[in-house]
Amino acid sequence: MQQVTRFIFAFSLIISLIGPALTKASAKDIEYKRTDTNFYWKGDVLKAEPAAVIIPAGNYIQKGDTYTILGRQKASKEVYIQVVNDWVEPITPPDMPASLGVAPDAMQIREPQGDVQVALPSAPADFTKATEGMTIPNGAVIKTGADGTAAVLFGGVNSARLIPNSQAAVQQTVTPQLRSTEVDLTAGAVFSKVGLRPGEKQDYQVHTPFGVAAAKGTDFVSVALPARTDVWIAQGIVQLNQPDGKVVGTVSSEGAGPLKIIRYPVMTDVHQAMMASAETMTAAMNVIPMINMKVKALHDQMAKGMTMSPRQKEYLSRIKKVPCLIKLALVEPPAPPTPPPLAPKPKLTPAPPVKVKAKAPAPAPEVKPAVPVDSTSTAPIPSIKATVTMTPRTDDTMSAPSASTAPPKKKKIKSTASSDEGTSAPAPISTGPNDTTP
């Protein structure tokens, strides 16, 4: 029993040690890249793409233009990730008292950047360069260029910031009980922050060619487009009316979470609505970093390790965080190299038969006559094979010859000789007294 208990304890210990490692090893980090430069509104994405994969903020790592999704087991071709951006900063500087030194019924140009021009109602076609703190009368027109942005401060209570390529006429009426502010936006977009002065009611309106956005104590942006009007609400209540006064709808936001939107004319196609929202949201998100100069300075101060004052901290806490989505596509691994296609086998065509002309028979070699053997020649002497027939001698042939006797007759000997050069008759062979009987 004790051995079983020890085994279970040891097994549990091993699992507890290697379990996290196995889980971590099984989790696969997947790389994605941004498919476009748009910012998408989550509400529209969920309507247009109910099965869309949305990765919350904090579940990915960004490095340059590459996003690594952490711990994903399934690599979807496309995903949306949530990003959090700063909303537009207020006009009030971080370390300035509440009063901005502006008369309650005055309007002033604040924080102009780039190409910003103003035309007075007395000369509506005569635009001049706007300057910081310039006081403007009711009916003045502010126009911004491609790199221009500026704010109009209404009595230190309300403010309207124009983004690049915008144009609006402004006016304000102040009584002891009511502050009426009107921004007539003919092009572009304007960020509106509506404040509240004790004992004073607000009537703040932004007029566009397609409707009127009316707000009370709220923070919103109105966008005037050639074919529609979009109103994005960060906090508060906004009512959008048609130009003839009919109510399009009312939207409220408690200030937390994503922005809310109202549009006229209303779009029923969910995909068209998603892309329309992406158009205006992208324009707003791209211009905010250019506007938020004070926020940038405070972030740089924090990055250097400098201490912020309580007022600076309070100022940063006033900046709303806006969540939105960006679209990513899976980075496919490189495909293995494709081997080159095999060359087709050549088609063999039989060669035509070759006609061979019959050749005439070669002439027989000429036979030269045999050359006689020269005794003085140094050439090797051919060997001669001879067959000799000898007759036994008699007694009288063994005696010495006398002078008067005639010499014995020569015997004929048959012989055969061969040579490389030819055949010649053998020389006669004599017999003499020195010959012996075989």
Query: 368: pLDDT confidence band, cut at 50, 70 and 90?
Result: low
Please report the DSSP string for 270-321 in residue order.
HHHHHHHHHHHHHHHHHHHHHH-HHHHHHHHHHHTTPPPPHHHHHHHHTSPE
The answer, yes or no, to whether residue 218 has pLDDT greater than 60, is yes
Query: 361: pLDDT confidence band, cut at 50, 70 and 90?
Result: low
Mean pLDDT, rounded, for 51-65: 92
Q: Rounded to an integer, what distance in angstroms lies between the CA atom of residue 320 and that of residue 322? A: 6
Q: What is the pLDDT of residue 435?
A: 41
The answer, yes or no, to whether residue 424 has pLDDT greater than 50, is no
The answer, yes or no, to whether residue 11 has pLDDT greater than 60, is no
Domains of the chain, residue spans: 90-266
The answer, yes or no, to whether residue 396 has pLDDT greater than 50, is no
The answer, yes or no, to whether residue 51 has pLDDT greater than 60, is yes
Q: Between these two residues, 236 and 344, which has the higher pLDDT value?
A: 236
Looking at this protein, which amino acid is placed at residue 437?
A: T
Asked if 196 and 203 touch (Cβ cutoff 8 Å), the reply is no
C-alpha atoms less than 13 angstroms from C-alpha of 148 in its C-beta half-sphere: 22
Q: 3-class SS at 97?
A: coil
Domain 90-266 fold is: Jelly Rolls (2.60.120)
Mean pLDDT, rounded, for 308-328: 93
Q: What is the pLDDT of residue 162?
A: 98
In whole angstroms, how large is the CA radius of gyration of the chain?
60
The residue among 317, 147, 172, 287 whose CA lies nearest residue 221 is 287
Asked if 219 and 239 touch (Cβ cutoff 8 Å), the reply is no
* Backbone torsions φ then ψ of 286, nearest 5 degrees: -75, -30
Asked if 260 and 232 touch (Cβ cutoff 8 Å), the reply is yes
Q: What is the pLDDT of residue 196?
A: 84
What is the 8-class DSSP label of residue 40? B
Neighbouring CB atoms inside 10 A of 201's CB total 13
The residue among 103, 312, 280, 99 whose CA lies nearest residue 191 is 280
Q: What is the pLDDT of residue 415?
A: 43
403 token code pair: 């002078």
Q: Rounded to an integer, what distance in angstroms lies between the CA atom of residue 150 and that of residue 132? A: 9
Q: Rounded to an integer, what distance in angstroms lies between the CA atom of residue 313 and that of residue 301? A: 12
Asked if 162 and 142 touch (Cβ cutoff 8 Å), the reply is yes
The answer, yes or no, to whether residue 349 has pLDDT greater than 90, is no
Q: Between these two residues, 90 and 381, which has the higher pLDDT value?
A: 90
Q: Rounded to an integer, what distance in angstroms lies between the CA atom of residue 91 and that of residue 157? A: 10
Mean pLDDT, rounded, for 428-432: 45
Q: What is the pLDDT of residue 5?
A: 54
Looking at this protein, which amino acid is placed at residue 205?
A: Q
Q: What is the pLDDT of residue 413?
A: 47
Q: What is the pLDDT of residue 10?
A: 54
pLDDT in tens, 236-287: 999 999 999 999 999 999 888 899 999 999 999 999 999 999 999 999 999 9
Q: Rounded to an integer, what distance in angstroms lies between the CA atom of residue 302 and that of residue 305? A: 5
* Least confident stretch, 99-103, 110-114, 205-209, 417-421: 417-421
pLDDT in tens, 319-330: 999 999 999 999
β-sheet bridge partners, residue 142: 118, 168
Cα–Cα distance list, 240 to 206, 233, 319, 413 (Å)? 10, 11, 25, 157
The answer, yes or no, to whether residue 208 has pLDDT greater than 80, is yes
The residue among 286, 270, 188 whose CA lies nearest residue 229 is 188
Q: Rounded to an integer, what distance in angstroms lies between the CA atom of residue 132 and that of residue 316? A: 23
Judged by phi (left if over 0) then psi (alpha if -120 to 50, else beta), residue 90 lies in: beta
* Least confident stretch, 9-23, 61-75, 219-233: 9-23
Q: What is the pLDDT of residue 366?
A: 63
Query: Helices 293-303 and 310-317 meet at what angle, rounded to 10?
Result: 120
Mean pLDDT, rounded, for 367-386: 51
